[in-house]
Copies of this chain bind each other. A is one copy, B any other.
């Protein structure tokens, strides 16, 4: 790890809690529609609508909200009331105003590593949401670069490394998604540290990866021990 000069972090569920906010909102959504359908059926329909809409709307709170509204209309065959849909829009506004809750050990780890390495954030999602979260996190000053992208695959990582003139052997990515943070980074010859979050969104789950190449940690606080 002596060669590493630049450490990049995923943001959602690596630096701060995110997925639980979506889970909490899904709970509120299921409660709102409880009089129409079972919880399981609502979950399944919402997941299917989200998958279909990802192509059109991308990631983030606004796309998720449009998917909730569409699911509510379909599940009730149009019987959903205007004021119930207004509640769904209010869920979105609540989500956007939630304080950014850092994961345990994040703050001290980022501060410490920023003294020895160039730190970067590479995150997927909605530009508006992500910029607001980075600003509110209190960590912005420790990162020399922030890259907000619509997907994270080998080509995207290669482009970022090329743009900042970083050789793969000098680059380490830290994140909670095998699919987005780890596998494409290993594939281009850089290093990656996998720190699972307790909830992993179904869309992000992958199977059959080569466990030998992985560095896995329980929490981000152990990261400095690598160096």
Partner of A56 from B70, B96, B127 at Cβ < 8 Å:
B96
- The verdict on A82 contacting chain B, using a C-beta distance below 8 Å, is yes
Chain B residues positioned under 8 Å from A79 (CB to CB): 82
**Shortest beta-carbon distance, A33 to chain B, in Å?**
12
Chain B residues positioned under 8 Å from A148 (CB to CB): 127
Interface string of A133-173 (1 = CB under 8 A from B): 00000000000000011100000000000000000000000
Question: Within residues 32 to 80 of chain A, which ones have a CB less than 8 A from any CB in chain B?
Answer: 56-59, 62-63, 65-66, 69-70, 72-73, 76-80
Interface of chain A: mostly helix, strand, loop or mixed: helix
A96–B72 alpha-carbon span in the complex (Å): 22
Partner of A76 from B70, B82, B89 at Cβ < 8 Å:
B82
Chain B residues positioned under 8 Å from A150 (CB to CB): 127-128, 131
Most buried by B among A78, A93, A127: A127
Partner of A78 from B58, B73, B81 at Cβ < 8 Å:
B81
- The verdict on A116 contacting chain B, using a C-beta distance below 8 Å, is no
Cβ A62 vs Cβ B66 within 8 A: yes
The residue in chain B whose Cβ has the minimal distance to the Cβ of A63 is: B62
Chain B residues positioned under 8 Å from A76 (CB to CB): 82
- The verdict on A100 contacting chain B, using a C-beta distance below 8 Å, is no
A73–B149 alpha-carbon span in the complex (Å): 33
Given contacts A62-B62, A62-B63, A150-B127, contact A83 B89 (CB under 8 A): no
Show the binding face of A for B, using Cβ within 8 Å. 56-59, 62-63, 65-66, 69-70, 72-73, 76-83, 85-86, 89, 92-93, 96-97, 126-128, 131, 148-150
A-B contact pairs, 19 of them (CB 8 A): A57-B128, A58-B128, A66-B66, A69-B85, A72-B82, A73-B85, A73-B86, A73-B89, A77-B82, A78-B81, A78-B82, A78-B86, A80-B82, A85-B85, A126-B127, A127-B127, A127-B149, A128-B150, A131-B150
Question: Given A70-B86, A73-B89, 15 other A-B contacts at CB below 8 A?
Answer: A56-B96, A57-B128, A62-B63, A65-B66, A66-B89, A70-B89, A73-B82, A73-B86, A78-B81, A78-B82, A78-B83, A78-B86, A82-B85, A127-B148, A127-B149
